[in-house]
């Protein structure tokens, strides 16, 4: 029987306060702490841990939120073991201080508090900014703009704000309650939100320019890539993004088979594989064209999928999807690859001639990356680069139209949610500085 995709509950738990105090006691409280420099948002790790030691949890939380309003989210889904914890000087002596666990304690403390912490909003500087997209970069930019005295409105195509927070991160990694609290905290600063808006159809640039001082695009890479191999009915072919969204939003009911092939080796591929295996679909196989060393995936996400029983075939590519007379998938044709090192040490996979083999499958899931949704870009006549992303001036993040700014994965490759948050903060500061400088020139 095919499985009907449904949601999950968060699987991990927060350590106790006494355990957190003990863990905080392990920190060297370094000056010029390397863990701070390794954090995309430059969290003052030694500072907040010092406050935790004295049991000043609210003060510790306030210090974290000076640079990151989403600690409950980032500590659960960003690879702290590859960021701040990797730089910890304690790592050679009993392992690194568990920074993510300590941030999680503080974030949960805040969420359960009768008075959740919110930074003070300053007086208005008389600037109005419209943002399209409410993912990590958009929300972070909105908060930073408000905290710099701007009035902000966000336009979001989905019915809820959050972007990858609410659509792309499996619930077994993070609960809806955590996401709702931290997204809600940004809106509580006075950010206006309009959902269900198709920006390409509903936003008129002329009217936006009359009502706002700037427009910021944080639209991500909104369309999942597919291979041009689809000779079968669409019923058995999905993207990894569709799988994860169906589980998070619980609006789509995707009927899947029992012999699932996932194409791709990134975090979306691993998350989709782990989620499907948790639904007790035993036949989940991932193929990747190169080796494990080249996979663009967090170690924790790979291990999660492996732990749940994922099968993986390296140096393998999808050649053809074979269907029966009714257009239903029956099998796939795969080919093996060999790896060759090109200039600058880049490893490329080249298909081996005559290496075809067939494997039974009834569902194919593409998790091979995403591409820019060009509707809005074309409507606003914005220039894009060779990688298909929006071109901006690095010093200002302005696009080919100086009124329009852009940031996040629609501009550059973003590997972590924490980095996306940092990019939102950075573009907001550039935007404010630029608007004020323009006033001075008038």
Q: Is 192 helix (H, G, I), strand (E, B) or coil?
A: strand
Least confident span in 162-176, 198-212, 304-318, 319-333: 198-212
Q: At what angle do helices 45-53 and 57-65 cross, to 10 degrees?
A: 170
Task: Give the residue among 173, 183, 176, 214 at the shortest CA–CA distance from 437.
Answer: 214
Q: Is 279 helix (H, G, I), strand (E, B) or coil?
A: coil
Task: Enter the CATH code of domain 127-222+372-441.
Answer: 3.50.50.60
Residue with structure tokens 């606003």? Answer: 380
6: pLDDT strictly greater than 80: no
**The pLDDT of residue 324:** 87
* pLDDT tens, position by position, 196-233: 988 767 788 899 999 999 999 999 998 888 887 766 66
**The pLDDT of residue 202:** 77
Share of the chain above pLDDT 90, in %: 80
From residue 319, how far is each of 239, 283, 342, 371 by CA, in Å?
17, 20, 24, 21
Q: DSSP assignment, residue 390?
A: B
**The pLDDT of residue 233:** 64
Residue intervals of the chain classified under CATH 1.10.1060.10 are 12-112
Fold observed for domain 223-369: FAD/NAD(P)-binding domain (3.50.50)
Q: What angle do CA 39, 219, 395 make, to 5 degrees?
A: 60
* pLDDT tens, position by position, 406-420: 999 999 999 999 999
Task: Give the residue among 54, 36, 178, 46 at the shortest CA–CA distance from 116.
Answer: 178
* Ramachandran angles phi, psi of 315, nearest 5°: 50, 50
Task: Give the residue among 320, 310, 327 at the shortest CA–CA distance from 236.
Answer: 327
Structure token pair of residue 83: 């960021």
Report the C-alpha dihedral over residues 72, 219, 422, 16, rounded to 10 degrees: 10
Q: Is 319 helix (H, G, I), strand (E, B) or coil?
A: strand
Residue intervals of the chain classified under CATH 3.50.50.60 are 127-222+372-441, 223-369
Structure token pair of residue 196: 């269900």
273-287 mean pLDDT: 92
* pLDDT tens, position by position, 238-261: 999 999 988 887 655 678 899 999
Structure token pair of residue 51: 């406050």
* pLDDT tens, position by position, 25-58: 999 999 999 999 999 999 999 999 999 999 999 9
Give, for 404, the enclosing helix (H) or strand (E): strand 404-406
* pLDDT tens, position by position, 87-103: 999 998 999 999 999 99
**The pLDDT of residue 230:** 61
Distance between CA atoms of 80 and 161, rounded to whole angstroms?
25
Task: Enter the CATH code of domain 12-112.
Answer: 1.10.1060.10
Mean residue pLDDT of the chain comes to 92
Distance between CA atoms of 135 and 39, rounded to whole angstroms?
20
Q: Is 153 helix (H, G, I), strand (E, B) or coil?
A: strand
Asked whether 239 and 367 are in contact (CB, 8 A), the reply is: yes
Asked whether 270 and 304 are in contact (CB, 8 A), the reply is: yes
296: pLDDT strictly greater than 70: yes
| C-alpha Rg value of the chain to the nearest Å | 23
**The pLDDT of residue 12:** 86
Task: Give the residue among 27, 13, 170, 185 at the shortest CA–CA distance from 110.
Answer: 185
**The pLDDT of residue 1:** 36
Distance between CA atoms of 178 and 109, rounded to whole angstroms?
11
Distance between CA atoms of 47 and 99, rounded to whole angstroms?
12
DSSP-assigned letters across all residues of 82-107: GTTGGG-GGGGTTS---HHHHHHHHH
439: pLDDT strictly greater than 70: yes
Least confident span in 70-84, 135-149, 186-200: 186-200
266-275 mean pLDDT: 96
Distance between CA atoms of 224 and 138, rounded to whole angstroms?
20
* pLDDT tens, position by position, 140-158: 999 999 999 999 999 999 9
User: How far, rounded to the nearest angstrom, does the alpha carbon of residue 141 sit from its chain's CA centroid?
Assistant: 15
Q: Is 183 helix (H, G, I), strand (E, B) or coil?
A: helix
What are residue 311's DSSP bridge partners? 285
**The pLDDT of residue 372:** 92
């Amino acid at each position: 029987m095919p499985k009907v995709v449904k949601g999950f509950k968060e699987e991990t738990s927060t350590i106790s306060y006494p355990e957190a105090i003990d863990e905080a006691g392990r920190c060297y409280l370094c000056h010029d702490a390397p863990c701070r420099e390794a954090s995309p948002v430059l969290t003052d790790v030694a500072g907040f841990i010092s406050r935790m030691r004295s049991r000043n949890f609210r003060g510790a939380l306030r210090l974290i939120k000076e640079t990151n309003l989403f600690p409950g989210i980032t500590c659960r889904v960003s690879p702290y073991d590859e960021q701040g914890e990797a730089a910890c000087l304690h790592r050679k002596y009993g392992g690194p201080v568990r920074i993510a666990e300590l941030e999680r304690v503080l974030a949960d403390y805040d969420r359960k508090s009768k008075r959740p912490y919110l930074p003070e909003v300053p007086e208005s500087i008389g600037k109005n900014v419209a943002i399209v997209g409410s993912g990590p970069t958009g929300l972070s930019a909105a908060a930073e703009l408000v905290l710099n005295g701007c009035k902000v409105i966000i336009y979001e195509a989905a019915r809820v704000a959050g972007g990858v927070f609410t659509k792309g991160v499996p619930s077994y990694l993070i609960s809806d309650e955590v996401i709702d609290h931290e997204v809600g905290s940004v809106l509580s600063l006075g950010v206006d939100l309009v959902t269900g808006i198709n920006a390409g159809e509903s936003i008129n640039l002329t009217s936006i320019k009359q009502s706002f001082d700037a427009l910021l695009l944080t639209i991500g890479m909104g369309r999942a890539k597919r291979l041009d191999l689809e000779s079968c009915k669409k019923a058995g072919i999905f993207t990894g993004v569709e799988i994860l969204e169906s589980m998070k939003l619980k609006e789509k009911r995707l009927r899947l088979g029992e012999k699932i092939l996932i194409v791709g080796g990134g975090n979306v591929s691993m998350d989709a594989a782990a989620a499907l295996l948790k639904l007790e679909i035993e036949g989940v196989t991932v193929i990747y064209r190169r080796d494990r060393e080249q996979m663009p995936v967090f170690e924790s996400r790979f291990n999660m999928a492996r732990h749940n029983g994922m099968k993986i075939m390296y140096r393998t590519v999808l050649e053809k999807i074979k269907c029966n007379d009714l257009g239903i998938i029956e099998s796939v044709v795969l080919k093996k690859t060999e790896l060759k090192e090109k200039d600058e040490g880049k490893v490329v996979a080249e298909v081996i001639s005559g290496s075809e083999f067939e494997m039974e499958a009834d569902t194919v899931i593409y998790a091979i990356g995403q591409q820019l949704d060009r509707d809005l870009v074309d409507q606003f006549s914005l220039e894009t680069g060779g990688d298909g992303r929006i071109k901006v001036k690095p010093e200002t993040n302005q696009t080919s139209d100086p009124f329009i700014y852009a940031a996040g994965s629609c501009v550059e490759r973003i590997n972590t949610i924490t980095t996306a948050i940092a990019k939102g903060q950075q573009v907001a500061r550039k935007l404010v500085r630029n608007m004020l400088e323009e006033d001075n020139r008038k």
